[in-house]
Structure 1
Amino acid sequence: MEEWKKYKLGDIIHLIGGGTPKTTIDSFWNGDIPWLSVKDFNNSEKYVYQTEKSISKLGLEKSTTRLLQKNDIIISARGTVGEIAMLPFPMAFNQSCYGIRGDLDIIDQDYLYYLMKFKLAEIKSKTHGSVFDTITRDTFGNINCSLPAFNIQQKISNILSSFDDKIALNKRINDNLEQQALAIYRSWFVDFEPFKGGEFIDSELGEIPEGWGVGRLSDVGRIVGGSTPSKSHSEYYTTNGIPWLTPKDLSMTQAKFTSRGEIDITEIGYKSCSTKLLPRGSVLFSSRAPIGYISIALNEICTNQGFKSIVPNREIGTAFIFYYLKANTSKIESQASGSTFKEASGTLINSLSIIRPPLKVIHNFNEIMTPIFFQQEKNEGENEKLSKLRDTLLPKLMSGELKITDLNS
């Protein structure tokens, strides 16, 4: 480590504060400048490409927000602390975040991103605030770090970036496949485009092809709720037991397929409550807090009471139900009830109207979907392995425990 120089993190970065234009002035909003809040980059991806909101040039000029540049880093500093991403192009941001720009005479900006990832746990441990956690400028001044020579920084960041680049590529492929699959579902079962040449009949869902019908969601799959073992019994929970899922688990990932949540339950925990094991291929649908997270079970799994999952009938399959729910989430939410928070009850889910095509049509649809789902599952599995390998290498490379020469030998 002799060649590594010691610094305070605060001495090698420039912190940039953000702000929010007045929401009561319409001319400040919906312009062509992306405006970041933490919800835009709380997904573990290296780059943030889209923002929920945008501001105008006037909104930028008349507020305390600032315009970050390409490759600047954004970190959430208040409430949800420690979410981090890099910017592929200029963006403004709110006051709950900091923009971070390295001293380019000392540190490579890409390397700085991985250094921040390496130091996140320490940064989070030095937060302040009685109501909610907050990172202050002093936080960064209290973080020690060691830096190798600039060329070594670049080599380290190139290694780690290669993992993130491949992960991002796989996600783009999967996103493209998902758009294609949803478009096919809508074409076949909403707009009936392949069947326009035939006769149509009236139904409760409007005109549908002759020979088709309308049923209930419970006609094409079994609706299964979930449950939570008592949290007062630690023996009900484990790190390697029966996979168990909560809506919060799905909020932390954009994966289409799910194998388990953050924590498993034990056999006695499973038997202590009314949760049920769901087979591979079940469609997991969050029915409250919030409504509309959707994933597909990769293996046997059970859930808490925040789900109404569907075990597809064998002749129907997963894809038809998955895209039905995806296309009808807004409708389900509008019909949900509840005073504290909305919930889609089992009665509601069971009674949802659904188009019933002939089984041959379903079979033909599944033949198209099967290779798409296979490729998406493969890409997500590869990304999980790449993420684990990157996360294993990162602390070793950033601490100097593992040297570049060790990787080349």
Structure 2
Amino acid sequence: MNSWKTHIVADLGKVVTGRTPPIAKPEHFGEDFPFVTPSDIQFGNKFTSTDRFLSEQGFGALRNIQLPRKTVCVVCIGATIGKVCATDRPSVSNQQINSIVVDAQRHDPDFVFYLSSMLRPTLEVYAGGSATPIVNKSAFSKIKILIPERQTQRKIAAILTAYDDLIETNKRRITLLEKIAEEIFREWFVRLRFPDHKNTKITKGMPEGWERKRFGEFCMLKRGYDLPNDLVEEGPYPVVASTSVKTFHKQYKVEPPVITTGRSGSLGDVLMTHTRAWPLNTVLYVKKFFGNSPFLVFYTLKNMGLENFNSGAGVPTLNRNHVNGIPMVVPDKNLQQRFAGIVDPIHKQAENFRQENINLTKTRDLLLPRLISGKLSVADLDIQFPPSMCEGTKQQDRGHASG
């Protein structure tokens, strides 16, 4: 700890406050440069994907607040103050975010990201007790931090980055597996190129053995269950919200497989959970499958465009009664089971990667505060740096040595 010294955030690099391009200039928005907002950033995720992008023209108009790769973005206003991400390519943020364009010759950008992820309690103190917590650029820049010399920073970042790189790799694997399974569904049940389709007789406009039904006869949707935050007790069962697993609880409501879709707030996302779970009241879950394959039900829901069934005024709402009357054609049970036999192993492999990510995240989060505080020394460790930290390292090290 002797080499650790007190600095302020401004010592880490250039502090930049974002800005939103004027809506009156739609030509400033496009598909080229990510536009980062607090809602894009998730606690615990190093990188983020954005809902909106800027055009070359819009990015050029904001040249004074452009954020290069590995800039650290910190949410400094609102209920989610303290959320952090790192940019993986040139970007721009909105005004609710203060960013650190790290001086890479003096400090390691990955270390600064992990250090910033520990600043939430400090930011909340600086924000005071106002109804809308806010830490402006000046106050953010003056926050005191304790940091080691650059080589120790790199060792600490390497340990934590190794975990995050594995997590990101697993996420890509999960996405690929999900795309493969969904493409099989589309091939069989949308394009109707299922096995032996050429030899299947078409009767009344559909393959022989298939049935015409209403959606409400295909499966039964039911509203999820209330669970106030203050009643959540840590446990093994996922609590499923409209777009993701919100937390874990010691009790459950539904046996697997648990298939849910957003009922209020966010519509269109369909999730399949292979363990006992607690679907929240913001979702509809499949209570009855009526003998149909859960996998067929899952992919059918995913491909229905449920976001287009909004029956709410201010808050998007999905009314199950509006869905129940939709006419559809249901494949015969033998074909459903053949489909399930193919996609079930794909789902199991994806689930293994998800569980691995849960374990990796827990371990990383246990190490993070001990490493960032210096309580866990890395001085005597021979660290192998992950490939993601080696890009541009030689140039940075040469600049550091010449400085």
Q: Indicate the TM-score class for this superposition, using the shorter chain for normalisation.
A: 0.7 to 0.9
Q: Of residues 261, 274, 277 in structure 2, which corresponds to 1:285?
A: 261
User: 2:379, 2:61 → 1: CA distance?
Assistant: 51
Query: What are the residue-to-residue correspondences of 1:249-398 with 2, within 5 Å?
Result: 250-251=242-243, 253=244, 261-262=246-247, 264=249, 277-311=253-287, 313=289, 315-328=291-304, 330=305, 332-398=306-372
- The residue identity in structure 2 corresponding to 1:239 is E
Match of 1:200 among 199, 202, 225: 202
Structure 1 residues 112 and 367 mapped into 2: Cα distance closer, same or farther (>3 Å)? same
Match of 1:32 in 2: 32
Question: Once superposed, which parts of structure 1, at least 4 consecutive aligned residues long, lie more than 4 Å away?
Answer: 128-131, 241-244, 405-409
Contact 2:74/2:98 (<8 A) preserved: yes
Matched, 1:212 2:210: yes
Deviates more, 1:386-395 or 1:214-223: 214-223
Distance 1:109 1:153 in 2: 9
The offset of 1:110, in angstroms, is: 1.1
Aligned in 2, Cα 1:150/1:336: closer, same or farther, shift over 3 Å?
closer
Residue 264 of structure 1, CA deviation: 3.8
Map 1:83-102; keep pairs closer than 5 Å. Answer: 83-102=83-102
1:328-369 per-position Cα deviation (integer Å, ceiling 9, x unaligned) = 1x2x34334233434323423443434310111101111111
Aligned to 1:57: 56
Residue range with higher mean Cα deviation, 164-173 or 4-13: 4-13
TM-score by length of 1: 0.82
Amino acid at match of 1:209: P
Q: For residues 140 and 13 of structure 1, do their structure 2 counterparts lie closer, same or farther at Cα, with a shift above 3 Å needed?
A: farther
170 and 312 in structure 1: CA distance in 2 versus 1, 3 angstrom threshold: farther
Contact 1:33 1:91 in 2 (8 A): yes
* Superposition pairs of residues 220-239 of structure 1, within 5 angstroms: 220-228=218-226, 237-239=231-233
TM-aligned CA deviation for residue 406 of structure 1? 7.6
User: RMSD between aligned alpha carbons?
Assistant: 2.9
| Cα deviation digits, residues 32-60 of structure 1 (max 9, x gap) | 33322233333642123x43222233323
Equivalent position SS for 1:291: coil
Between 108-117 and 220-229, the greater mean CA deviation after superposition: 220-229
Partner of 1:269: none
Which residue is equivalent to 1:270? none
1:148-199 CA deviation, whole Å, 9 max, x = no partner? 2221111110000000000000000000111111111111111212335644
Please list the CA deviations of residues 111-160 of structure 1 after superposition, one character each: whole Å capped at 9, or x if unmatched.
Answer: 11111112233223322684522221233244322222221111110000
- What is the identity percentage for the equivalent residue pairs of Structure 1 and Structure 2? 24
Residues 73, 118 of structure 1: CA spacing in aligned structure 2 closer, same or farther, 3 A cutoff?
same
> Is the contact made by 1:200 and 1:209 (CA closer than 8 Å) also made in structure 2?
yes
Query: Structure 2: how far apart are the matches of 1:82 and 1:11?
Result: 19
The SS at the match of 2:209 is coil
Are the structure 2 counterparts of residues 322 and 65 from structure 1 closer, same or farther at C-alpha, using a change threshold of 3 Å? farther
1:26 to 1:301, Cα distance in 2 relative to 1, 3 A: closer
Q: Distance in 2 between matches of 1:3 and 1:178?
A: 47
Letter of the 2:213 counterpart: G
The whole-number CA distance in structure 2 between the counterparts of 1:220 and 1:290 is: 24
Give me the whole-angstrom Cα distance separating, in 2, the residues matched to 1:59 and 1:141. Answer: 27
**TM-score when normalising by structure 2:** 0.84
- For residues 222 and 337 of structure 1, the distance between their equivalents in structure 2, rounded to whole angstroms, comes to 19
Say how many residue pairs are matched: 380
Structure 2 gap ranges (5+): 384-403
